[in-house]
Structure 1
Amino acid sequence: MSDGTGPSEWVFIRGLVRESAHWDEFPQTFARAVPGARVRAIDLPGNGRHWRLDSPLSIRGMMEFARAELGTEAGVPRYLLALSLGAMVALEWIARHPQDIAGAVLINTSLSSLSPLHRRLSWRAWPEVVGALLTTDIADRERAILRLTSRFAADDPSRVQARVDAYREHPIRRANVFRQLWAAARYRPPADAPAIPVLLLGSRGDRLVSPECSEAIARYWGLPLNMHPAAGHDLPLDDPAWTIEAVLAWLATLCEGRSAVCPAESRRET
């Protein structure tokens, strides 16, 4: 197992009907802050550059697609950083192919086996979710999604415009929204705890998914959990510096008692 030292590949996986462009500048910021890190932001079937494909009706299908696209040999330790539905894909990858992965950071995710529906998708958010799905105005829809997932970005015209531009290049097929919702609703990971190091990150200000969902996963598997006191569902957007510091601190724990220099000890400016 890797201890987080030296060169590494970090695979970033977004959530429900979101694409790699929605990371904004976070991959570049992360790569500068974590020495040796090479970031690959991927798109799941039905999203981003794969928008023409039908989304699989299972999390396993999404995972196997991503694994085949990336290849099983990274040449360096491979880590996953995944948000929401993307974190379910990461958990499935860890469960099925633990030899591929050195560690994973899972952000604001939930599991149907541990949390009820009203926590996995807050009942207060349902009217806004439905409204966002039904609107035909791209800017209004992306602004509504940002209101649900971020504490501030909906008021930033450049963030909204970036998502409008992404949608025009890679439109979201409505059928894929429901296919991904179906896959997420049905997903149940194995009962055994992940066989590799996993860090959970959550947000107290998440209006979309209750922070209690991350807490439930942490309790069930005995995993470390860091909770941001105020950020929304899209934690890397709302507080990228805090997110990176949490990852660096976790990597440092993987290096305790080892002689190698760890990324957390040789960090660069973020």
Structure 2
Amino acid sequence: PASVPAMAAHCRTALQALGVAPPYRVLAMSLGAMVALAWAHAQPRELAAAVLINTSLRPFGAFHQRLRPSQYATLLRLALSDADAAEWERSILAMTSRRCFEEAEHDALLGAWTAWRRECPVSRANALRQLLAAARFRAPPLRPPVPLLVLASARDALVDPHCSRRLAQAWALPIAEHPTAGHDLPLDDGPWVAQQVERFVCTSKAL
């Protein structure tokens, strides 16, 4: 879909087709977190809770904060060139992770990501639609009546963590910020994410 609300509607339809009934508990990152917010706004009774990781949406961040200018050239090159699956995933990993991998672990990760991309390729048009949908999306005027947790990465090279901080401040949401992780926070420190989610679930109505 070419818009974030349409993406949320697509998720709802897919879950219904699978026979998975609400309420849902959603862990969502970046553009996915925008989709979770659109879903929480449109159908708040369907979501028991949502964790929003390294998201960036208007009006809680300027354009250059929502997508750092240092990454424009790389994203445009990938979207407009004929880069193969391995080059796509190598570039994405460099943009989104701050983790120091062992060589074997790094190669295994890229191998898995590349295999997934070849199995389910992302078209150039779809990649551009995602960028356009993210750029257009604006937060709901009021905080959705769903328990929300914000997680951010202090060393995010793709999105300025200021966007997450402003969102949490504006809506009085709990927030935790990882001091060294990059944009792909679950990849860089999955156990830390799990700890934050567990604490959130135990201290909110997310159970």
TM-score of the superposition, structure 2-length normalised?
0.91
SS of the equivalent of 2:122 reads coil
The whole-number CA distance in structure 2 between the counterparts of 1:120 and 1:207 is: 11
1:157 to partner: Cα distance:
0.5
Q: Tell me, what secondary structure is at the counterpart of 2:51? A: strand
Structure 2 residue 18 is matched with structure 1 residue 60: no
Q: Which moved more, 1:72-81 or 1:155-164?
A: 72-81
Q: Which amino acid aligns with 1:253?
A: T
Number of the residue aligned with 1:117: 63
Of 141, 145, 149 in structure 1, the residue corresponding to residue 88 of structure 2 is 141
2:147 to 187, 197, 210: 197
State the 1:153 CA deviation: 7.0
What is the DSSP-based 3-state SS (H/G/I as helix, E as strand, rest coil) of the residue aligned with 1:230?
A: coil
Query: Could you tell me how far apart the structure 2 residues matched to 1:223 and 1:161 are?
Result: 37
Aligned equivalent of 2:99, options 149, 152, 175: 152
Closer, same or farther: CA 140–74 of 1 in aligned 2, 3 Å = closer
Contact kept, 8 Å, 1:102 with 1:197, in 2: the verdict is yes
Task: After TM superposition, give the deviation of residue 142 of structure 1 in Å.
Answer: 0.8
Is the helix fraction higher in 1 or 2?
2
Is the Cα contact below 8 Å between 1:63 and 1:89 reproduced in 2?
yes
Q: What is the Cα deviation at residue 108 of structure 1? A: 0.3
Is 1:71 the counterpart of 2:16? The answer is yes
**Who is 2:181 aligned against?**
231
Shift of 1:192: 0.6
Output aligned runs, 1:1-270, within 5 Å: 56-71=1-16, 74=20, 77-133=23-79, 134-152=81-99, 156-254=106-204
Is this contact kept in 2: 1:135–1:141, CA < 8 A?
Answer: no
Corresponding pairs, count: 202
AA of the residue aligned to 1:245: Q
AA paired with 2:2?
L
Amino acid at match of 2:10: F
Gapped regions of structure 2 (runs ≥ 5): none
For normalisation by structure 1, the TM-score amounts to 0.70
Quote the Cα distance in structure 1 between the aligned partners of 2:51 and 2:155: 19
